[in-house]
């Protein structure tokens, strides 16, 4: 990390861990679209539930390998023996419910021809309502509505808090803190 990068003011949740710094500076809050990209992000956000995001970031490459780069067709084809294999894969979070949810979600998305970009971004708040960035805010009316719709479609591990984190990370909500060098 360069001295100029080292002295930048970032959002308060960013630790000194370089993985976190790189994620914040290069990914978090930047617009993300596309079926595979959003399926990966939604799946990883689901795995993060109850854990720190840093735990997921440190295992992200392992997740990508284990879940065939989050290619929907490949994940949808996972059978019980593949789920068992993943349950013994130390590169990922070994939670059967979350693994099964990822497979279920891939199947539902394909079987129903769901367009994740269209669905997820249709719940993005207007830009004027973004940027709240208070540490205590973990949901919004939009994340509540998105969660409700995804659950109605049969998608799992998409609670409102998880969906708010997804909205922040994919740029649907601009939540960099006011002092952060990336706030606009």
Closest to 25 (Cα-Cα) out of 6, 46, 47, 50: 6
C-alpha 83/C-alpha 127 separation (Å) is 40
Catalytic-role residue among 20, 28, 40, 45:
45
Known catalytic membership, residue 53 = yes
C-alpha 106/C-alpha 161 separation (Å) is 21
Known catalytic membership, residue 13 = no
Residue 171, number of CB atoms within 10 A of its CB: 18
Cβ atoms 14, 6 nearer than 8 A: no
Please spell the DSSP secondary structure of 44-103, one letter per residue: HHHHHTTS-HHHHHHHHHHHHHHTGGG-HHHHHT--HHHHHHHHT-TTS---HHHHHHHH
Catalytic-role residue among 23, 28, 121, 164:
23
Catalytic-role residue among 13, 27, 53, 149:
53
- Give the residue numbers marked as catalytic: 23, 45, 53
């Amino acid at each position: 990390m360069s001295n100029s990068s080292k002295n930048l003011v970032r959002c308060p949740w960013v630790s000194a861990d370089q993985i976190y710094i790189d994620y914040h500076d290069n990914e978090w809050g930047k617009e993300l679209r596309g079926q595979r990209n959003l399926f990966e992000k939604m799946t990883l956000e689901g795995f993060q539930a109850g854990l720190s995001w840093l735990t997921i970031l440190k295992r992200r490459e392992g997740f990508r390998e284990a879940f065939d780069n989050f290619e929907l067709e490949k994940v949808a084809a996972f059978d019980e023996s593949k789920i068992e294999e993943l349950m013994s894969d130390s590169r990922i979070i070994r939670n059967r419910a979350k693994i099964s949810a990822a497979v279920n979600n891939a199947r539902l998305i394909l079987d129903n021809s769901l367009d994740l970009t269209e669905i997820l971004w249709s719940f993005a708040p207007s830009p004027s309502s973004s940027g709240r960035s208070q540490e205590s805010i973990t949901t919004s009316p939009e994340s509540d509505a998105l969660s409700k719709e995804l659950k109605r479609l049969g998608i799992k591990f998409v609670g409102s808090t998880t969906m708010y984190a997804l909205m922040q990370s994919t740029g649907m909500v601009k939540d960099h803190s006011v002092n952060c060098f990336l706030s606009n």
